[in-house]
Amino acid sequence: MGLFGENSINKAELLGVIIRLSLLTAVSFMTLKWALNQMDHTLSQKKKAKDKAKKICKKLGLEIEQQQLNDYEMVIASHLVDPSDISVSWEDVAGLEDVVQEMKDTVILPIQRQDLFADSQLTQPPKGVLLYGPPGCGKTLIAKATAKEAGARFINLDVSMLTDKWYGESQKLAAAVFTLAAKIQPCIIFIDEIDAFLRMRASQDHEATAMMKAQFMSFWDGFITDHSCIVILMGATNRPMDLDKAILRRMPSRFNIGLPDCSQRTKILRLILSKEPIAEEVDCETLARETVGFSGSDLREVCRNASLYRVRDFNQSSSSKQSDEDDFQDALRPITMVDLVLSIEKFKESKFLSTSGLHTSA
Ligand SMILES: Nc1ncnc2c1ncn2[C@@H]1O[C@H](COP(=O)(O)OP(=O)(O)OP(=O)(O)O)[C@@H](O)[C@H]1O
Ligand SMILES: [Mg+2]
């Protein structure tokens, strides 16, 4: 009887130990999970990206539930561009009619009218398009206009998002770029300043970066061989020579966006000044002749400075006259030829300074 009693106490003790042990295991499991979640910075980013992606996809009329996007594809989907958010259209690109026409013929028409080109493999849109040329001449501008007008999904790929990740994440994201593009095709993947990402591979590249580049290329190859899939990778760079040769080979359609010549500068100036109050005597052709070597963005800067001169003049005259604020709009005079010529002179001085500065430091 005594023995039996002792046994039953042992059994109760055993049960207690088992319960305590399982409780301890459960608590340690929960703590470990919590700690891991805390350590995984990407989790909150993924959640944010997911919310953003859902919003954009809804706006674009994409059914993401049907597509069954994974977490990585969601992150990439958050970089989808809504064409209605883009203010740039073909009308905002001046002096590059040939490039725009070629872009429309070789890239946009085959996307929009797939039925027309279905019977030919050769008239499919190119899988890779490269825009190259000196800074400030309209590469990004053309890409934006393409995003607005192409009628395709457009992913504006921020490359820092691919590289700035934990080990292993980058490769998964790189793969997701293409798997997502395939799911939502026709799709254009745009990488601005592509040389920063796909520059010549060097032996001192970090292992993770090298692997990501390799994977990026092999996925891209998958699309190049798949003719039914309309995914175009579009890149812009002002350093085409820095690009990996293998990348250049995959971008057969190349557009050189060079410095504008005299007639192009006239068109750019006309476009920039068309929305501004200008004096009648302003002659864009004369200004274009004075601005040899200027890029489109230089011309924009010149016009911006010229328009500031009238504000400065107004400030000076109003502080001497003490006029009231209601007169502000009426009192601002239009931009004159003198403003523009002065602004060009100033710009040339600073341009000369920056180039000679570069020479001395080199
Ligand atoms: N052909 C053009 N027509 C109208 N505006 C232009 C043109 N080229 C440049 N611009 C003006 O210059 C700005 C800068 O152009 P953009 O960003 O396209 O240059 P980019 O070629 O991408 O330069 P970067 O190589 O430095 O990125 C544009 O926002 C636009 O205001
Ligand atoms: Mg650019």
Secondary structure class of 196 (helix, strand, coil): helix
Is residue 190 within 8 Å of residue 145, measured between CB atoms?
no
pLDDT above 80 for 300: yes
The predicted structure's pLDDT at residue 360: 39
Domain check: are 204 and 311 in the same one?
no
CATH number at residue 344: 1.10.8.60
Residue 88 CA: which ligand 1 atom is closest?
A: 29
Token output for 196: 């920063």
188/186 Cα distance (integer angstroms): 7
Q: Are residues 120 and 241 in the same domain?
A: yes
Quote the tokens at residue 268.
């750019």
Residue minimizing CA distance to atom 19 of ligand 1: 136
Structural domain harbouring 340: 262-356
Residue 296 Cβ inside 6 Å of ligand 1? The answer reads yes
By the 8 A CB rule, do 159 and 317 touch? no
Closest among 126, 45, 49, 125 to 80, alpha carbons compared: 49
User: Is residue 108 one of the residues assigned to a domain?
Assistant: yes
| Residue 16, domain member (yes or no) | no
Query: What's the pLDDT score for residue 100?
Result: 94
Q: Does residue 39 belong to any structural domain of this protein?
A: no
CB of 99 within 8 A of CB of 253? no
Same domain, 175 and 209: yes
**190 has a pLDDT exceeding 90:** yes
Of 204, 228, 256, the residue at which a domain comes to its end is 256
Question: Counting ligands in written order, which one lies closest to the CA of residue 191?
Answer: 2
From start to end of the chain, where are the E strands?
Answer: 128-132, 153-156, 187-192, 231-237, 253-256
**Looking at per-residue confidence, does 199 or 141 come out higher?**
141
72-76, 162-166, 268-272: least confident range: 162-166
In angstroms, the CA 296 to CA 302 distance is 10
358 vs 116: CA distance, rounded Å:
52
pLDDT of residue 211: 78
**For residue 18, is it within any domain?**
no
- Picking from 256, 276, 305, the residue at the C-terminal end of a domain is 256
Is the domain of 169 the same as that of 310?
A: no
Q: Which of 275, 302, 304 is nearest to 287 (CA)?
A: 302
**Distance from C-alpha of 187 to C-alpha of 150, rounded to nearest angstrom:** 9
Q: What pLDDT is recorded for position 111?
A: 84
Whether residues 135 and 214 share a domain: the answer is yes
Whether 21 is in a domain gets the answer: no
222 plus 278 within the same structural domain: no
Task: State both tokens at 294.
Answer: 């200027």
| 10 part of a folded domain | no
Tell me: do 281 and 194 sit in the same domain.
no
Place of tokens 């790189």: 174
pLDDT of residue 35: 82
Residue where a domain terminates, one of 256, 280, 307: 256
The number of folded domains in the chain is: 2
Is residue 254 helix, strand or coil?
Answer: strand
User: pLDDT digits over 250-266, tens only?
Assistant: 888 999 999 999 999 99
pTM score of the predicted model: 0.80
| Band of pLDDT at residue 132, cut at 50, 70 and 90 | very high
Mean per-residue pLDDT for 189-207? 77
Do 179 and 269 fall within a single domain?
A: no
Q: Determine the residue of 87, 88, 140 to mutate for testing ligand 1's pocket, defined as the one with the most ligand atoms within 8 A of the Cβ atom.
A: 140
Residues 341 and 288: beta-carbon distance below 8 Å = no
| Predicted confidence (pLDDT) per residue in 63-86, tens digit | 766 667 888 888 888 888 888 888
Tokens representing residue 170 in the block: 């980058």
Do 230 and 292 lie in one domain? The reply is no
Q: What pLDDT was estimated at residue 48?
A: 82
pLDDT band with cut points at 50, 70 and 90 for residue 225: confident
Q: Are 231 and 267 members of one domain?
A: no
Ligand nearest to the backbone CA of 131: 1
More confident residue, 108 or 356: 108
pLDDT at 293 over 60: yes
Backbone Cα Rg of the chain: 30
Tallying the residues shown for the chain, one arrives at 362
Q: Sign (positive/negative) of CA torsion 139, 140, 142, 143?
A: positive
Q: Is 201 in the pocket of ligand 1 (CB under 6 A)?
A: no
**Is residue 345 a part of any domain in this protein?**
yes
Q: Are 136 and 296 in contact (CB under 8 A)?
A: yes
In a domain, 362, yes or no: no
Residue 317's CB is within 10 A of a number of other CB atoms, namely 12
- The reply to whether 276 and 219 lie within a common domain is no
CB atoms within 10 A of CB 167: 10
SS3 82: coil
Mean pLDDT for all residues in the chain? 83
107 shares a domain with 209: yes
> What confidence score (pLDDT) does residue 93 get?
94
- C-beta 186 within 6 A of ligand 1: no
Q: What's the 259 CA to ligand 2 centre distance in angstroms?
A: 14
Q: What is the mean pLDDT of residues 148-161?
A: 86
pLDDT at 321 over 70: no
- CATH code of the domain covering residue 188: 3.40.50.300
Cα–Cα distances in Å, from 57 out to 61, 62, 184, 360? 6, 5, 10, 52
Residue 11: per-residue pLDDT: 84
The reported pLDDT for the residue numbered 216 is: 83
Tokens read off for 272: 């920039």
Q: Is 187 close to ligand 1, i.e. is its CB under 6 Å away?
A: no
Residue 299 scores a pLDDT above 90: yes
Q: Which of 141, 142, 257, 303 to mutate to test the pocket of ligand 1 (most atoms within 8 A of CB)?
A: 141
Angle at 343 between CA 139 and CA 306, to 5 degrees: 85
